[in-house]
Homo-oligomer: A and B are copies of this chain.
Amino acid sequence: MTDITQIEAAARRLAGHARRTPLLSSPFLDEIAGRRLFVKAECLQHTGSFKFRGAWSAVSALPSAQRAKGVIAFSSGNHAQGVALAARRHEIAAVIIMPADAPRQKIENTRALGAEVVLYDRATEDRDAIGDALAAERGLTLIRPYDDAMVIAGQGTAGLEIAEQATEKKISEADVLVCCGGGGLTSGVALALESRAPGLRARPAEPEGFDDVTRSLATGTPQKNAALSGSLCDAIVTPTPGKLTFPIMQRLCGSGLVVSDEEALRAMALAWSRLKIVLEPGGAVSLAAALFRRDQIESEAVIALASGGNVDADVFARALTYAP
């Protein structure tokens, strides 16, 4: 089980490798939110999302002989790029298993970061069988996207930074809204805040129709989403909360917040206009919740962890149509 000691150890391993991302704000956004609003801009992290933290944490924690054989991951998105860059900087091999119909740009980016990309056909091939065979053959270590103690510890370093930055800004009580898929970031941040800033409370933010964590927290048992795709917020669509992450979220998090795809696009437009940062829909749901669910927030200040900015130009152009 991940704890604060592991998060602090991850922070030491990440020092000088991950960016300490800024906490941004704008008087225009404060007005919409009806309170002081701060945005932790993890889109400015290496590879454009927080995923680099967990990937670096996991890769750097491996025993060196095991690490030298390389790592493997399943991902068509942000986790792929995080693992690829973490592996390259450790000078080890990374194999990323991606669906053949993943966006060309994501495949190319992952390759350009030095990873070997293995494509499979979603309809006819078994992803796990391909991965298991490769891992066994080459001795690769699987880096899971969220259900891994070292990954959770790495994501938790964003929470350590939020605790420090909140102290600098004299924020002692706030809701910290976190874009939530499998819950690696949310649970890591919740653990960091529990120890370092007990007046700050993590709360998951999710897209409509994919609010498994919100419903799981409300009912006390893990819930599943009806669909597996169909949200613009593809980066944070997962079927059900993680086995390791859910108990942490259940113990520490406030209730979840749910926003529509259109609200995520509106939040992207406001982040573009008022903060000059690029968010992807799944990385903007926390900001959307801070801006458009003000009646569900009680604290005097709110911090939105904007988790990533890897978005296609056509989706971003759609968001721009909502620009003020």
Among B28, B48, B276, B309, point to the contact of A44 (Cβ < 8 A). B276
Q: Note all chain B residues with C-beta closer than 8 A to A199.
A: none
Q: Confirm or deny: A4 has a beta carbon within 8 angstroms of a beta carbon on chain B.
A: no
Q: Does any Cβ of B come within 8 Å of A205's Cβ?
A: no
Question: Size class of A's contact patch?
Answer: 20 to 34
A interface with B by C-beta (< 8 Å): 19, 21-22, 24, 27-28, 43-44, 48, 85, 105, 109, 112-113, 269, 272, 275-279, 309, 313, 316-317, 320-321, 323-324
Which chain B residues border A278 with CB–CB below 8 Å? 272, 276-278
Number of copies of this protein chain within its complex: 2
Are A48 and B316 touching (Cβ within 8 A)? no
Question: Which label, helix, strand, loop or mixed, suits the secondary structure of the A interface?
Answer: helix
Q: What are 23 A-B contacts defined by CB distance under 8 Å?
A: A19-B24, A21-B22, A22-B22, A22-B44, A24-B44, A27-B112, A27-B113, A28-B109, A28-B112, A43-B276, A44-B277, A105-B324, A269-B313, A272-B278, A276-B277, A276-B278, A276-B279, A277-B278, A313-B320, A313-B321, A313-B323, A316-B320, A320-B320
Q: Which residue of B lies closest to A42 (CB)?
A: B276
In the assembled complex, the CB of A317 is this many whole angstroms from the nearest CB of chain B, namely 5
Distance from A276 Cβ to chain B, minimum over Cβ atoms (Å): 4
Q: Residues of B contacting A24 with CB < 8 Å?
A: 19, 44
Measured between beta carbons, the chain B residues less than 8 angstroms from A276 are: 43-44, 48, 277-279, 309
A244 to B113, CA, bound (A): 46
Docked complex Cα distance between A278 and B317 (Å) = 13
Within 8 Å CB of A317, what residues of B?
A: 317, 320
Docked-complex contact B28 and A275, CB < 8 angstroms = no
Q: Chain B residues near A22 (CB, 8 Å)?
A: 19, 21-22, 44
CB distance from A106 to the nearest CB of B (A): 12
Bound-state CA distance A28–B277 (Å) is: 19
Contacts of A320 in B (CB 8 A): 313, 316-317, 320
Closest to A108 in B: B324
The 9 A-B pairs with the shortest beta carbon distances in the complex, nearest first, are A276-B309, A313-B323, A276-B278, A43-B276, A313-B320, A48-B276, A317-B317, A272-B278, A317-B320
Distance (whole angstroms) from the CB of A236 to the closest CB of chain B: 17
Report the minimal beta-carbon distance from A124 to chain B, rounded to whole angstroms: 31
Q: In the docked arrangement, what's the CA distance between A323 and B321, Å?
A: 18
